[in-house]
A and B are shown apart, each in its own frame.
Chain A
């Protein structure tokens, strides 16, 4: 029997979280060491999967299948394709850097890391599930710890409100999607939740037209689609740093990915029918998100709304249903995940030292925080789609996809590039350069080595992908081919 690498990846965080909970609460350093070790282990495995995925063969690889509840046709069916391998890698990266960034968290680190890792297991599970039931199962596992993480460790002022809002939004979304999933289960008559079987079920067009919005929008809520996005900036802001990183870096991709996997791939006729509407909503995301980000005065809200704007690009890519658009969306999910994880890490570092996130009160941070400054600038360049960085590699094909479908949408969406450039440049200048406010003189401590490693690692990934698109794009393309086949295109 071959080594069941995917289940090991999925369950490593879960096992680690149990082990962490078994440790005495006051042995904080050991807890952190264990968390870091488990995260690095998961990352190494996901790197291995990423580089051993056979692009020539394409399709689902490293497949595992165990019966779980045969009566209902539910099995633990795991596998990765070209679209999910980068997302698994992304989760590994965010997990490791998230642990590094939270090294100095002093309030019950044991419980914090345990919950964070349960969440990580759920995320890994969603990305590799080939069974619809299991996908929901892991989805809920990923969402619920968020509630605890935000309401216990979050920002005192808004944490209860944000945690409640976020959880309700996402649960409602997933229930709506679940209704659609059950409809598929019964309509198919196959007595199985296996998505590989369901995608060949040939649902009648009317059925698909009716149920597609349920499934797609239900998941897209977590992807932050307009007008269901406003849980997300609140959630980002209230969450502690590592959770924000996970939340914006990985969880939002979870929503977008599930909307693609369940919505577009299982109901392709529905996707074609509704594509114009999705594109309209996503366009609002992109442009409106950028404008709203520009007028924020809270550093973290700026990043929160920029995520809304960037996730809109992912949705735009999906809605083109073209090869370029989907490929770009796939790369954008990775690129945005890395970028936003870096952003939130830096925001956290500044906040921990300045104890304020009000942009007008900040300034001159580059004097004390060189690494975070450089990291934020690199992230900013990615975010404005500067060539040579991963954002460009992702956004360019998305726009090419839009051109093939509705050229005027490309023109409108391009406005966001300039808006993004202006607010990013303004934030960089106001927070990191200029005069240091008097109350901060001498009060801004340095960051530790682990923080530097995290910043460096994330930055190198973004630059590397930006310079050498071949590192990821061909792989994503193989996954996209599969989607296109279901859409009846290529």
Chain B
């Protein structure tokens, strides 16, 4: 037990990848065995994360459960892991969604082994980003997560998968090129990649670097970081890869893409951009807020205009992640104030909430697509009487996405708006108008699927949601309601981290 307690983070991080290697040696035709092994392999990190959550003390500032191992001595990079309230929330989100995504893909029959292995590798890749306390390790996992996702979209995606997967890959890799270069520069300057050390050294540097004033170099490096993360979030106008990738990805892929991968970008802002570039962040907070507002409003408009159900949900991600960025912009502008803390609480909780509700929405879209083989909204209509349970769940999850009080989305969006209002009043006001359109596109989606005249061709062909699908949705719905009614358990952890960090 001591071993587990002392190596909690390493175990959480590498267990999925090691399980993937075990699956490699399972016989290809034993699909059932492979599925269950993958499911159990993804449940283990979840259980360990619960242990982590219970043992975590939110009152201690700094990183907990730290582990450090030599990795690449020649360039002074170590495998340094640790969690604080911010990363812990994200780790919980990741390990929670993974088993659900794997359970959601039990129906896949095409190359199950490769599919499950890629999924588990993907989990390690994403967890690594959240757990890393070394800039190079952060980048390693940041990039490595792309590979399984690329192949998941490219091999198991729908019609336009080739275009979407390549766009996803090249967009993200191209975006992180600046990040890579900036990381190299930092490494050359300070001879270390250790984040706690870098926070201190990078902020106290004075004079000139490589013949340029420090402020110039920092501004360039700031934008290099920001663009990499902005593409991943994605912030308008860097979002165009997202609707394609989400729409073409297999259901479980979309769940993870929207549920966790988008959070990697926002997490990058919180973990790296704000602490490393407080001055530049404050200086450019206005620009960030403009983009966030644009994402909220245009995202909602674009979602309203979609005829493809999955694309509608994809654009809703742009809309919802806009609130995260708005919160970050507000915090960057007024770092240290109570309003900034409230906005950040909201932003981080919104990351968690959007992870849950977006994963749920993509799963529900996938469920109806499996039955009807179409995502065209005009092909549906009046399905509520045919699939009442599905309809109920869809309405419930949509309401969370819409921000209905009592469900989780309301809490986080309210906190963001409450915190950002005194800091960035106009942008916040505009964003709240955006909320109006959020309501519009979600209601339109529900209307076109469940209400209106019944499309007769589905009568007798449509089966209601299965038990397995309910098991996937149940934890998500419980969390949606739980956070909506009593958010203190998670906000407590987030808030303490925010106050100590920013």
Contacts and interface: CB of A to CB of B under 8 A. Distances in A.
Contacts of A407: 185, 210
Interface string B69-80: 011111100000
Contact of B72 (A418, A422, A473): A473
Interface residues of A, number: 34
A470 B144 contact: no
B173 A421 contact: yes
Contacts of A410: 181, 184
Interface residues of B, number: 30
B81 to A, nearest CB: 16
A386 B180 contact: no
Interface stretch (A1-9, A25-33, A225-233, A396-404): A396-404
Interface in B152-176: 154-155, 162, 166, 169-170, 173-174
A82 to B, nearest CB: 12
Nearest to A420: B173
Interface stretch (A109-117, A194-202, A425-433): A425-433
Contact of B166 (A387, A397, A422, A434): A422
B177 A477 contact: no
Given A387-B143, A410-B181, A414-B181, A397 B75 contact: yes
B143 A400 contact: no
Interface string A379-412: 0010010111000110011011001100100110
Contacts of B362: none
A327 B74 contact: yes
Given A386-B143, A400-B188, A411-B181, A393 B72 contact: yes
A417 B177 contact: yes
A377 to B, nearest CB: 8
A426 B140 contact: no
Nearest to A392: B140
B184 A400 contact: yes
A469 B144 CA distance: 16
A257 B170 CA distance: 34
A425 B150 CA distance: 10
Interface in B172-195: 173-174, 177, 180-181, 184-185, 187-188
A183 B116 CA distance: 63
Contacts of B170: 418, 421-422, 425
Nearest to A415: B177
B74 A473 contact: yes
Contacts of B141: 387
Contact of A470 (B73, B143, B150, B184): B73
A426 B154 CA distance: 11
Given A393-B72, A433-B155, A400 B187 contact: yes
B139 interface: yes
Given A400-B75, A410-B184, 20 more contacts: A327-B74, A386-B143, A387-B139, A387-B144, A388-B140, A396-B184, A397-B74, A397-B75, A411-B181, A415-B177, A417-B173, A417-B177, A417-B180, A418-B173, A425-B166, A425-B170, A433-B154, A433-B155, A473-B73, A474-B73
23 contacts: A324-B74, A386-B143, A387-B139, A387-B143, A387-B144, A397-B75, A399-B184, A404-B188, A407-B210, A410-B181, A410-B184, A414-B180, A414-B181, A415-B177, A417-B177, A417-B180, A418-B177, A421-B173, A426-B166, A470-B70, A470-B72, A473-B74, A477-B74
Interface of B: 70-75, 136, 139-141, 143-144, 147, 150, 154-155, 162, 166, 169-170, 173-174, 177, 180-181, 184-185, 187-188, 210
